[in-house]
Structures are given as C-alpha cells and as structure tokens.
Amino acid sequence: SMARRLQEVEGISAAVESASRHDTGGVSPLSYPFNIPDATFLSSNNPQNATRFCKFSLHLHSVLCTYQDADVTRVRNRYKLIVKMCILTASQEGALVRPFPSLVQDSSEFEPHSFPALPTVTIQPAAASPSPAAACPETSVGQHRAQALRIGAQISELSNLLPSQPCSEQELRALRHNLLHLATILKNDLSLLRPSSPQETLGLEEVLGSFDFLSHDINADEDASCLGTLRKPGSFLELDGAWLTSGDDGLDQALEIHLDICCILLQRMRATRFSPSRQELLQELSLQAEALQRVSHLLLEKNKISSTDILPQVQRTREVLLFWEACVSGSSSSPFLCDADSFCATLRKCFTHKVEAKQPGQAEKVFSRLLGQLQAPCRTVPDLRPVCCPDRVTLFQLSAYLRRWGVQDLGAHITRLSKEERILSALRSPKRRRTLNTLRGQLVAELLPLGCTLQTLAALQVDANHKVSRAACKCLCRAAGVQTFRNKAVIYYTESLKSDDIQTQQGSCLALKCLKATESVDHITEMCRATDGALRSAARETVLSFGKRGFQAFQRMEQLHISVEEAVYINQETEITVL
C-alpha cells in the first residue's frame, strides 16, 4: 500500500539524515534495512546489482510522483537526497560517476564526510523460471512482439480516455494511478517474472538514464512525468509503439483482456448521462483497477506466481482453487488464464449435479450463460461490445465475477443460476402466462436478474396475446417492490432505450412505467419524438404516468422542440432575405 511505502521512505530518510551528521561514526545510508521481498544485501559492487537497485529506486520514485500533497512532496524531497547520496557513495568505487557529473560536482551539499564502501542491493533470480517461449511453445517471437505492442497501445488509449485533470470519482483516480504504476513497471522492466540473463538488453547506463529527474528541481515534478518521455499534453501516458511485457506470456494475454475491458467501460461512460448507469460502470472499473493493482504488486514481489497469490483472501476457498486448477491443468501452463472450452468442460465435470435440469440440455445452457456473464464487462449495462479474446477466460475475470455477484459458494451460485435459466425457459414457452403469475415475492428476490431475463420480461409486455402482456405488466409492478431487482432493472431498461430495435425501446418504456422509474424521465421523454407511432405513444404514456414530475419533463421537451423549430424558421427566413 501507499501508506506502507511512505513509512518505509520516512525510515530511510531518517537513516540518511542521521548518516549525514558528523557524529554518526560513518553509518552507511544503505544500512537501513529496505523492506524489499526476496532481497538481500551483498558486499560486492556488481553492476547488475546496481542495475536492480536503480530499477527499484525508479519504481518507488514513480509511485511518489503520482501524489502531489505537501506531506508526500516532503518525502519525495528526502527520497531525492537518498538516491543522490547512494549514487555519490557508489561513485567512490568508480561505478556510477559518469552518468551523473552534475551530481558529483554538487557533492559538498550532500557529503559532509567520507562514507565507507556501501553494500549493494540484489534480488535473487527466479529458480528455473520458465521463459514465455518455453511455457507457450506455439507462440512465436513475432506474436510476442505484436502482443507487447498491443499492450502499449491499449495503455495509451486508456490514458486518452481517462480525464487528464484530477477528477471527483475515486474509482477513476484509482484506475489512473494503478495504470501509471503498471506502465512504470512494464516500461522499465521491473517485473521479477522477466528472465534474467547476461544478454539483457537493458544495461546499467540505460537504467541510470531514467534518473534524469535527479538533475531537475523536485518541484517541477508536477509538470514533468516520472516516466521520462511518456507524458504529453492531454495524455498522462503515450506508449504507442512501445513494447510492454511482464515477462510471462499468459499474464500478458490476461493484461490485454483487462485493459480492453477498461477501454469498453470508459467508452460507455463517455456515452451515458444516466447517473445510476455511471455508478454501475464505476463499480466495474474499480474491480478492474484492483486487478491491475494486484498485478503490479505481484510483478514487484514474486518471481513465481500461483492462483493463490492472485485471488483475494476471501476467495481462496478450496472449491474455487481446485476448480481453477482443473481449468488450467489441461489447456494452459499459465495460472492466469485458460481456454473457454476448458472452462466449460470443468464446469460440467464439477457442477453438473448442482444444475436443476428440468429439460434436456439445461446444464449446457446454464454453463454457457455463466461463461457469458463472466466475460461480460458489466453485469447490468447492455449492448457493450465483447472483449478482445472471447476464447479465453482469466483468473481475474473469475475473481471479478465472484465479487460482482457477492458469491461465497460457487456451487450454490450455479444452483441459483440454473433456477433463473429454468424460469427464463418457461417465460419463452407456451406456459409463459402461468410463469408470469407465479413470479412474485421471494421468487423475484432470488433472481439475479440476468439481462436476458429483463429483456424477456420487457418483450412480453408487447406480446400479441393481451392476457400475456397484462400479466407481464403486473409481474413488473410486483417486482418494483424488490429493491435489488428494481435497481438493476432501471439501469438495464434506461440504457436499452438507446437500442436500434423499436420493439426493445417500446418494451423498455413500458417496463420503466411499471417500475415507476421517475429518475429516467428525461431519457424517456426523448422517445416522445420518435418516428414510430407505437414507441411515441408508449413514451408519452410512461412520462405522464409519473405525475407532476413527468408533466414538467414533458413540458420542457415541448418547449425545447418549439425553440428548435423557431431557430430553424429564423435561419430559413434570414437565408431568403440575404438571397
């Protein structure tokens, strides 16, 4: 966490300040025990060790640069002093002098006495960590490069979609920070999953070149990027053409999926003005931000990652862990993702007995529905484009799905899903009227509800059989008393008004009338000028059913329409006069 990092930096700063006094007896500023997982202090001045220390220093500074309040600015100033003193001390051995001549010239400010030789920091390499090529032999070098380029382009696109200025939504701020943190790790090769070899293309001088911020005033960091050349006006990241990889092919594929989900959600947020829909999208974005945060932390702390490391503590149940282990054992050597076919096959193997199959093929429908819901970017907002890799399922998607629906027992959740699938099948059968009449009370409360269930209920309101349509209206009126159902239904039906299908729009208007969704009145009013007569009539009927608030919204719409017509008439009259 950020608080823990700040405490560590405060402790390091205190050690440096005590070391800078003449009565310290030559205490080394690096004698303070850095809290770096899997790190040891060695006595040799190895350039590779210096490289790893500089990588860690750049990472910590980049995190501090994303915060601008007064307390953190003070810590950043102290941190700048720490790095300078470390560089100056190491320069006594001739290792780091050349890249920082300006710092050596100003050494009197930071070096009141001579420090002894300092130990350097190293991180133990992964024990026989398989390379991406070994883990996925079917993936060529060209495919690796193409995927690394796509990740860079996605991060750049996300930076353009996110507001460049500080925003009020906490979820967007968290996503922006976690995205910047992840980009820092990937661009500067800080991931411990990357194989370490003597042929590493990133040498010591290249890493030290990233420390240009040490030659500038720390107060200028607000206008400069902690990522060097990554920032440009209007976008806090610009990575088009950059190769970004975590060092693990499976994790790169998972990152590509989740960055695409973030793009889908942000694009939809730009297109919606309905406050409940925005809140729903923000909640989904917060789940993705948490996934990116977990990835960043694991890349810095682990050289070998398991599914236990990825899942939050509350989700590390024996059922979930065994299920995911079965998913990845047959189709993938990566703990991060599996094939969609393998996922469905494991569902059939582990949870077929949980499905209440009243009809042949019911289990297949349930598992297919579960897969679709798990891969959906949002549970309630409809008509979102599918993710870039529908043939893959990531462990982060499974984790987000469990959080999204509050699932504690996966088997019980599948049983609940099978009940809704059975009700959905009945609503589409000749017995739909009887099913509508039985949907009340606890049975409605047990519905998730799925988008397809809400869509079917809306369509039944315009059914050719008038008895069925009346039963559907009564069912939705009863369901309005179940708050959890109503909240999801209002979002779904309000967003469905944007559909290109006239029948879907008409059914959504009538459903919002039954739910008494006065919060959607402005969006329904826009349908009152539709070209289709049935849709226009349904919209006006719905708006006027909201009483005074609906009447006022209808009047505003009429006045706006009159103003537009008058403006068009004045423009035409002016054009005739000029001619």
Per residue in 460-507, pLDDT (tens digit) is 999 999 999 999 999 999 999 999 999 999 999 999 999 999 999 999
> Is a pLDDT exceeding 60 seen at residue 235?
no
**Contact of 338 with 327, CB cutoff 8 Å:** yes
> Is a pLDDT exceeding 50 seen at residue 250?
yes
Average pLDDT in the 241-263 region? 89
**Contact of 192 with 246, CB cutoff 8 Å:** no
pTM metric for this prediction: 0.71
CATH architecture assignment, domain 448-566: Alpha Horseshoe (1.25)
Stronger pLDDT, 220 or 298, i.e. the higher one: 298
**Contact of 459 with 476, CB cutoff 8 Å:** no
Helices (H), 302-409: 307-310, 318-331, 340-351, 362-375, 395-404
Q: What is the mean pLDDT of the chain?
A: 75
Per residue in 264-303, pLDDT (tens digit) is 999 999 999 999 999 999 999 999 999 999 999 989 887 7
Helices (H), 165-248: 170-187, 204-208
> Residues near 230 by Cβ (< 8 Å), separated by ≥ 6?
183, 187, 236, 237, 238, 239
pLDDT given for residue 356 in this prediction: 72
Helices (H), 107-203: 107-110, 132-135, 141-161, 170-187
CA distance 569 to 543: 28
pLDDT given for residue 418 in this prediction: 94
Sorting pLDDT into bands at 50, 70 and 90, what band is 554?
A: confident
CA distance 477 to 89: 75
Average pLDDT in the 37-41 region? 34
16: enclosing H helix or E strand:
helix 2-19
Token pair listed for 298: 């694991």
Per residue in 351-364, pLDDT (tens digit) is 998 887 767 788 99
Token pair listed for 426: 């009945």
CA distance 356 to 345: 18
If we measure between CA atoms, which residue out of 379, 376, 373, 352 comes closest to residue 364?
A: 352
The mean-pLDDT minimum among 270-284, 328-342, 364-378 falls in 328-342
Average pLDDT in the 242-257 region? 89
The mean-pLDDT minimum among 63-67, 209-213, 310-314 falls in 209-213
pLDDT given for residue 549 in this prediction: 78
CA distance 272 to 491: 11
- Phi then psi dihedrals of residue 59, to 5 deg: -60, -50
pLDDT given for residue 569 in this prediction: 67
* DSSP annotation of 232: B
pLDDT given for residue 464 in this prediction: 93
If we measure between CA atoms, which residue out of 49, 122, 291, 300 comes closest to residue 194?
A: 300
The mean-pLDDT minimum among 167-176, 311-320, 358-367, 510-519 falls in 358-367
> Residues near 182 by Cβ (< 8 Å), separated by ≥ 6?
155, 255, 292, 295, 296
> Is a pLDDT exceeding 50 seen at residue 184?
yes
Per residue in 108-136, pLDDT (tens digit) is 333 333 333 333 333 333 333 343 333 34
> Residues near 481 by Cβ (< 8 Å), separated by ≥ 6?
none
Stronger pLDDT, 571 or 196, i.e. the higher one: 571
Token pair listed for 40: 């040891």
41: enclosing H helix or E strand:
strand 39-42
